[in-house]
Amino acid sequence: MTTTKSDHSSSQPGPAAETAAAAAPAPLPIIQSDKPYSPGLAGVIAAETAIGYVDGLNGRLLYRGYPIGQLVEKGTYGQVAELLWTGEWRKSARLVPAVIPENVLCAMHELPDHTHPMDALRTAVSVWGAWRRPHWPPTVDQARELVAFAPSALAAFHRMRQGLDVVPPNQKLSLAGGFLQQLTGKDPDPAAARALDAYFVVGAEHGLNASTFTCRVIISTRSDLASAVCGAIGALKGPLHGGAPAEVVSQLHEIGSPERAEKWVREAIARGDKIMGFGHRVYRAYDPRAAALRKVAEGMADMADWLDTAVKVEDVVLRIFGELKPDHVIKTNVEYYAAAVLQGVGLPPDLFPPTFALARMAGWSAHAIEQASADKLIRPDARYVGSPETSVPDFNR
């Protein structure tokens, strides 16, 4: 066989090619960490906290050591917020609705009527932060100011989208009562104001959930409280976190009556549909927040018929789950009776998620203060599962 010049040049590299080959290092292997991977960070201890304790196995929730049922029965949201922020129980502690800064009102006016109320609330907090410029580290005074103005801002947006005048805050009322007054323009029914205050207490704190973790991550970068709460609102907006009470209302309306519950529930389970208001990532017992809110709902005179349906449907769901899924512990969660309370005080369903955010602001800000005191950047690792190291093709040759 005769060897041509082209054959020889392609098979035998010249001096320049040999030099380049010698200079190029061999790709390094991808070295994987031997740390365990936990999807969604499930079970990973990412913080130490003295704020709240969630005991899923035994169905307990403690704020600074106090059981949630006792806090709902004996406390107010103002007292509970102060407890979360400072660790002290102050009988005289109050939170009252605050005046909305003018630039926040201007921003609310610019939002289109179809804006989701969660987006409106996030915008209000963002504009408040741009105006107020809260410094790092976050403080209790910053938390009090934010928590006091946010309900006024949400109520103002709700009025604006209906073409109604904004109602100024009545600082003789509680934060919950003032929120109802600013929504409707009428003095709130005392029982409704107390019921909403109880909902605020129940919603104030719940460990290292997705929105609270988001808040702590942002604060860990030494960002400000407004930025952290905006991020938390964004996390809470997701349907896997903060939207379930509204879906419970739709579900109960679809069921219609206790007599239809058995057939509806069995068909839903057969289809693999999720029954809203049941099951929880943490609790393996009856959610203590649901128990506390059920007592509140039972005390609301105007809720008798709707609550009677909810209670009877709950009994049917729990019985059928026990029959069809005996190996799965599925109990009532907080969203089920949150729906009863929020509907009972007259809130439209699209205000349920941002009202949850109003309640959770006390917990978010408490965690922000605690995270800042630790002053440790939250920066977990990720396991790389992509391609091995390789050279970029030389497209010029």
Catalytic residues: 280, 335
Amino acid identity, residue 313? V
Read out DSSP for 246-310? HHHHHHHHHH-SHHHHHHHHHHHHHHT---TTB--SS-SS--HHHHHHHHHHHT-GGGHHHHHHH
Cβ atoms 357, 209 nearer than 8 A? no
Q: How many C-beta atoms surround the C-beta of residue 15 within 10 A?
A: 7
What's the residue count for the chain?
397
Contacts of range 26-35, beta carbons closer than 8 Å, 24 or more positions apart = 27/388, 27/389, 27/390, 27/391, 28/389, 29/388, 29/389, 30/384, 30/388, 30/389, 32/383, 32/384, 33/381, 33/383, 35/381
Angle at the Cα of 14 from the Cα atoms of 8 and 16, rounded to 5 degrees = 155
Under DSSP, the state recorded for 307 is H
Report the distance separating Cα 202 and Cα 293, nearest Å. Answer: 8
Report the distance separating Cα 96 and Cα 169, nearest Å. Answer: 8
Report the distance separating Cα 329 and Cα 86, nearest Å. Answer: 36
Under DSSP, the state recorded for 38 is -
SS3 64: coil
Report the distance separating Cα 291 and Cα 288, nearest Å. Answer: 5
162: tokens are: 């209906």
Burial of 371 (0-12, 13-18, 19+ CB in 10 A): buried
Cβ atoms 372, 219 nearer than 8 A? yes
SS3 376: coil
Sign of the CA dihedral running 257, 258, 263, 266: positive
Provide the edge-to-edge strand list for the sheet that holds 52-55.
Answer: 52-55, 60-63, 66-67
Q: Residue 396: what are its φ and ψ, rounded to 5°?
A: -90, -5
